[in-house]
Structure 1
Amino acid sequence: MNQQPWVMVRHGETEWNRTARLQGRADIPLNATGRAQALATAEALAESGPWDLVVSSTLGRARETARIIARRLGTGEVVEVPALVERDYGPEEGTGVAGLSERAKAELMEAGESSASVVLRGTAALAGLASAHAGRRLVVVSHGTLIRLVLSSLHGVEHPRVENGEVVKLGAHLLQGTR
């Protein structure tokens, strides 16, 4: 059983994060703040290394964050995993959510891909990584909603919002038998 700690990292900030717009699958790039967050995250991870591999969603904001981290950690090329992309918000992508109630935000989010679908997709991708990279320390760069929903499911309690550049520990052993 793999007891190595992994971490999940939310990509750095984009302009849509800054202006509180639902991003989803829209491929919005990092802004200057997001690049600085990625570098700060890389520095913090370097202090808790060594790390074996950096994995990323295929969306540009996550890929760029992952490449900044991998370069600092010296792990080589980033492995991209399509199933780690953000939730698909469908026609609501780009909608501003500043000032909306939590209920209104939740309704917007459910207009696209269901929470259950995100959890199944994300958990299966992570379980596949756990199987393929048993005993290795991984940094997995993904997206806020995917990270929050998957961790909530794995731990059985609601995980709080994950901030841009935030590092969250994940015991890979939690993924045993989830595929």
Structure 2
Amino acid sequence: MRLEMIRHGQTDWNLHDQLQGSSDIPLNDHGREQAHAAALLLAPYEWSAIVSSPLLRARETAEIIAAQLGIELGAAYPELIERDYASREGTVATTKIPDEPGADFPDIEPREAVVARGLEALEDIRDTRLPLDGPDANIVVVCHGTIIRFVLAALLGREVGHIHNAAANTVEWTDGEWRVLSINGEPVAAAA
């Protein structure tokens, strides 16, 4: 089973570097264009389903892709919601965002909690879709940059850079584990 993890298209808050987190911000026109472009990249392949975070920007991206690919929009998974930045949502970070709450980010969701939610979402998607679609299924999963980055980093055992809006990041369930195949559309070298 292969999952194509797509970050939602751009929002006005993305444009202005504002932290969105769990705030429900819609796509802007450029974000809708990015969703259409993502669908074009996905079009040559066969997809069993498209699922997403329930937040508006991810759900709208998924709706655009589903309509363009002619597949039904599937479930929304609450575990895929973006990292909660709490009192910092809507602000522009002027310092590096820490993994754990601290002086500048006193109430953000800890990285470990985001990773746990993200991995749980992958397991839920696998457990739900595998019986329906089989081991060769290809599923599009539209969610958010930080949760994608943290999950990929946890699977790889190393840090992962910025995840671009509407970029594809491929993970595959094989031999009882998740493997990362691409980040931002670029292949990940296999471990030696």
Q: State the TM-score, normalizing by the size of structure 2.
A: 0.82
Measured in 2, the distance between the counterparts of 1:159 and 1:44 equals: 22
Distance in structure 1 (CA, Å) of the matches to 2:176 and 2:83 = 20
Please list the CA deviations of residues 25-83 of structure 1 after superposition, one character each: whole Å capped at 9, or x if unmatched. Answer: 11010000000000000011002x11110010000000000011111122212311111
Structure 2's unaligned 5+ residue stretches are: 179-192
What is the alpha-carbon distance in structure 2 between the residues aligned to residue 75 and residue 110 of structure 1? Answer: 42
Match among 5, 8, 11 for residue 5 of structure 2: 8
Q: CA deviation at 1:175?
A: 7.0
Q: Which amino acid aligns with 2:3?
A: W
Instruction: Report what 1:153 is aligned to.
Output: 154
Whose helix proportion is higher, 1 or 2?
1
**Which protein is richer in strand relative to its size?**
2
Between the two structures, name the one with larger relative contact order (CA 8 Å, sep ≥ 6).
1
Q: Pairwise CA RMSD of aligned residues?
A: 1.8
Deviation at 1:109, TM superposition (A): 5.7
Structure 1 runs of 4+ with >3 Å offset: 107-111, 173-177
User: TM-score of the superposition, structure 1-length normalised?
Assistant: 0.88
SS at match of 1:154: helix
- Residue 174 of structure 1 deviates from its aligned partner by 8.0
Report sequence identity in percent. Answer: 41
3-state DSSP class of the match of 1:67? helix
The answer to whether the Cα contact below 8 Å between 1:57 and 1:81 also exists between their aligned partners in 2 is yes
- 1:111 deviates by 3.3
Secondary structure of the structure 2 residue equivalent to 1:50: coil
**Across the two proteins, how many residue pairs are aligned to each other?**
169
Identify the residue that residue 120 of structure 1 maps to in structure 2.
116
Q: Give the one of 55, 63, 67 matched to 2:63.
A: 67
Tell me which residue corresponds to 2:76. Answer: 80
TM-superposed CA distance for 1:120, in Å, is 0.4
